[in-house]
Structure 1
Amino acid sequence: MSAWHGASGTLTAVFTPEREGFHLYSTDLPPTGVEGVGRPTSVTVSGALKAAGRLTTAAQVRSIAVPGVDAPVPVYPDGSVTTTLPVHADGEGVASVSLGYASCSVSEGCTIPVSDRPVGLRVTGDGATFDAS
C-alpha cells in the first residue's frame, strides 16, 4: 500500500514471470481469455477495502498471434508488470486482495494460470498492512 491519505490509498502489485522470455496478459483480457487463450492480470479487493477506480499499468500492450486463434491476443512485453489500484477503506478490519495472472512464452508455452489467489490485509486508521494471522 502506498500514498495512504485519510481512508484512501494505492495498492501496487508487481507480477514477475518465474522464467525469462515469458509475458503476462493484459488486464483488459476477458476472464476466459481470447478464444480460451490466456487469463487477465488481475487485482481485486474485498472486505474492508473497496476499489476506487480501475486497475492500471504503465506497460504497453502489444498483440500477438497465437496459432489456432483467429483474434489477436493482448499481452505485455516479456518480464515484470507493475499494476496499481486506487482503494478506499470501508471501515477497519480484514480485507482480501485476490490476484490472478498467467504467463506464457511464444516458444516455450505457458505456466499454470493463477486465479483468485488471496492475500490478507488488515485495515486500520493508519492504512492497510499485510495480515500475518
Structure 2
Amino acid sequence: MTEFNENGVTVRLSVTDWESAAGTLVTTFTPDDAGFHLYSTALPAQGVDGVGRPTQVRPVGAVATAGEMTVDKPVKTIRVPGVRSAVPVYPDGPVTVTLPIRATAAGEAKVLIGYASCSSTEGCTIPVADRAVGLRTGEDGVSFDAP
C-alpha cells in the first residue's frame, strides 16, 4: 500500500487478490475537508464547459487494465452557475475506485492518478493530472515505490 496527499485529497492505493500475475488495484480518494466531492470517472477530460476534471486511475508500463473499473458510490449530477449542462459528481466524502489489472512483464510500471475536488460553498481545489505512483511487478507480486 502507498498513499499521498495533494491539493486537498488523500489518495491511498493498494493491490488485492494478486495471483497468477493479476489482481485488483484499489484506489481511495478522500477529501481533506467535509463537504467536498470528486468528479465522475466518466466526466470528459476537460470537464463540462471547463468545470471539473474526471477521477482517473490509469496503469501504464508493465501493468495493464484487465477489466472494467468500478466505483463504490453512485453518480449524481449538480448544476453549476454558468454551465449549460449538469455536471456528474460523486457524493461528498471518500470514493473508492477498483480496477482489475494484470502484469504484462516483470519490471517498472506506474499508475497515473487524476482528480479534482470541489465544495458548493468553498470552491474547488487545483486539479491533479497524471500524478505518477510507481510500482514494480515481479515473481513475488506487486510492490509500490516509496512515496
Q: Percent of aligned positions with the same letter in both sequences?
A: 58
Show the counterpart of 1:40: 54
Show the counterpart of 2:34: 20
| TM-score where L is the length of structure 1 | 0.96
Is residue 136 of structure 2 the alignment partner of residue 117 of structure 1? Answer: no
| TM-score where L is the length of structure 2 | 0.87
Q: CA deviation at 1:55?
A: 2.2
Higher strand share: 2
Show the counterpart of 2:108: 94
Gapped regions of structure 1 (runs ≥ 5): none
Show the counterpart of 1:67: 81
What code does the residue aligned with 2:142 have?
Answer: A
Match of 1:104, SS state, is strand
Is residue 114 of structure 2 the alignment partner of residue 104 of structure 1? Answer: no
Show the counterpart of 1:30: 44
CA distance in 2, matches of 1:75, 1:42: 13
What code does the residue aligned with 1:53 have?
Answer: G
Show the counterpart of 2:98: 84
Give 4+ residue runs of structure 1 displaced > 6 Å after superposition: none
Q: CA deviation at 1:126?
A: 2.6
- Could you say what the CA RMSD is over the residues aligned between the two structures, in angstroms? 1.1
Per-residue CA distance 1:45-69 (angstroms, 9 max, x = gap): 1111001123220201100000000
